[in-house]
Structure 1
Amino acid sequence: MSTITDKPAIAMDVFELFESKVRSYSRSFPTVFKKAKNYKLWDINDKEYIDFFAGAGALNYGHNNEKMKKLLISYLEEDAITHSLDMATVARGEFLKKFNEIILKPRNLDYKVMFPGPTGTNTVESALKIARKVTGRNTVISFTNGFHGMTIGSLSVTGNASKRDGAGIPLNNTVFMPFDNYVDNTNSIDYIKAFLENSSSGVDLPAAMILETVQGEGGINAASYEWLRSIEKICREFDILLIIDDVQAGCGRTGTFFSFEPAEITPDIVCLSKSVSGYGLPMALTLIKSEYDIWEPGEHNGTFRGNNMAFIAAAEALNYWETNKFSQEITQKAEMVSSFLDYIVHEYPELNAEKRGRGLMQGAACERAETSEIICEEAFKRGLLMETSGPKGEVFKFLPPLIIDKEGLEKGFQIVEDSIKAALKN
């Protein structure tokens, strides 16, 4: 039986000839990949790459996680259900029970689990819809530099101008407020509250506020726990639903399963996707406080709500969270990343860089955006996948699989430092 490695090599011009110009990552990483394991990938020339990208956060448990892979192969060999919409299946039921026992109950969270569709933007769309249905209001408050997806509702609460322009129509029913530390020495909490208290401010009482605790695409901006608690307090005071978009920052990326746990807040709605499936398979969840689960049957649906392969891998991924061990390991690795970034900021003052982020979702914002772009290009040449983020692409961003070991981090750090030296020569 032939394998993928036996097939004729695919050249990059295939993608230029046949694929839409909309593609982006194949431009950032211009090679043809054929294999991946844990925190490494290999291309058709057998060049090895360390992964500080992790499928934009969809591969927290690494590429081809061995336990998940064996379960998936076994599941397929049994001719078990793969596609089921929202019909009841063994795989779906086992995931729901396990998610409740390992994630929700220990955290005293009373959420109904909704399967809104396969992607992050699906969970955001469903969150906005249920918030408006519950409150009977239209407006949603979003925050500067926030990113929530590429469909129309999600784009309406996304700050990035180029992404919004792609909608091709006006994006309405959203008011943007300043995220934590958006303007230096300005208290955005007082600012937001002033708009809500003044009936002549022009801001209607919103159905919800939606935010990321760490803004992934917006520049690795991490909200303080105090700011998050203040936002929750405002929501409670004005009867506004609080939606936390944990699509990238969740599933352990910041150290705890939910990124908001250390702030000791309880969102009304939580959006999860990316690494919730454990294996990079399409899957999303919308967690809704029980009292707000007022959907009519089929009121929000979709063909691919029943990816049973994802349920199998997702249930296995939950085993990482049965104890605090995995979370503690992430924290230790995060300290390594933080120390390295402190070193970079101090050792290379020409970057005029600022350390940002939390957990294994950190980065450095350079004064000149083009510097970050060059650093990522140089890193790719040297065998490291890393992307930029921020309004101008000014941040080079560390997003390795959570299972990466100390050796992998240190090798990656060396490549990053070598890339910075090369970039500064340009």
Structure 2
Amino acid sequence: MKRFILNDLIKWKNSKYRKPLILKGVRQVGKTWILKEFGRLYYENVAYFNFDENIEYREFFEKTKDVNRILQNLMFISGEKIEPEKTLIIFDEIQDCPNVINSLKYFYENSPEYHIACAGSLLGIALAKPSSFPVGKVDFLNIYPMTFSEFLLANGDENLKLYLDSIDEIEKIPSAFYNPLYEKLKMYYVTGGMPEVVYLWTQERDIELMKKTSNNIIEAYERDFAKHPNIREFPKISMIWKSIPSQLSKENKKFIYKIVKEGARAREYEDALQWLVDANLVYKIYRSSAPRIPLSSYDDLQAFKIYLVDVGLLGRLSMLSPSAFGDGNRLFTEFKGALTENYILQSLAPQFEVLPRYWTDNNYEVDFIIQNENDIFPVEVKAEKNTKSKSLFKFKEKYSDEIKLRVRFSFENLTLDDDLLNIPLFMADYSKKIIDIALKKDKYFCF
């Protein structure tokens, strides 16, 4: 299956400023696979070292900081051939190996000719710990669940993906493309973007097998909760995790601790919630008090929403039957549009450098606020036929001098009406491109 992150890995390989790479992402998102595939395609050979399967490898990093000696020992013990520039060295499962992480500094400073890429389960947890870390000596890349565009390719719908790639004007999409794209999006809501689930669906078309695989992934995540260094946090993490469908099924999706447990207080559960964030299992989206640059400066730290890393896992965690994808538009509106909001956030997060926020004013709420370079755009998600955007209108009324464009995702076709850009839900992966096209129109050229 094609993963677009391969392009970023190629750029990393060819950069004259290349540093050892740390690939971050949620467990089972395909980190190890993509690194091995990258090595197979673009290097003469791959030297793969797993520090969970082969705990003895860790000793080589405890006794010396000499890069050549470390590599010599690894070659002797594994029989792997390692050559500068020609071999991709993969250090996997490094989350419990601080000496391995620290050694990246010496690879960068003393032996930059070696190409090293690292991955690990719950690596975000390890990197969040206050320990010796080679600051400024490593590169980072994030790998996300498969996008809807990647799903189309895996599903054999390259023609639909190529059509979406070709769009360079704001004009209505013909029904011949529009209708099948919505049907494929329903399928994506059910499979989500976890590679194993997508692969099994595209190969077997077996709903029960797909359900079982998704359930296995969720169970693996839940077993990981016990890996919190403070075992007393385990039940709190589990309760927050299981409360997410209930949190998102509310009209007001602001995270409420008492939904986790009656009488629960923030100070008792904030560490458990942060564990889920650091593990890349959830997104924590803060309320923005004002749509200004930089967005992070206007975060209301007491008000936030929680979304899952993957829409398919949200459907499984909610025990939504996959048969729903054949039931009209039910999937899009289920849980008060929670699946659709989760899908939109999942699509927006990889495209913009700053994680989206949301905005409220009394009874008005804009689902997301995105920062595109030095511009701020309000985003509303409409999963129902009624696309009237009272909150977007209120937002424009209040910040008319600061906002160039308002964005709405809905069932409507691709249109630009004055300053309101409507993007069909199935084009969420192209949001940045479509916004840029809209801004280049003559009516938005002079601001």
TM-score between both structures, scaled by the size of structure 2: 0.27
Higher-Rg structure is 2
Q: Which has the higher contact order (CA 8 A, sep 6+)?
A: 1
Compare the two structures and name the one with the higher helix fraction.
2
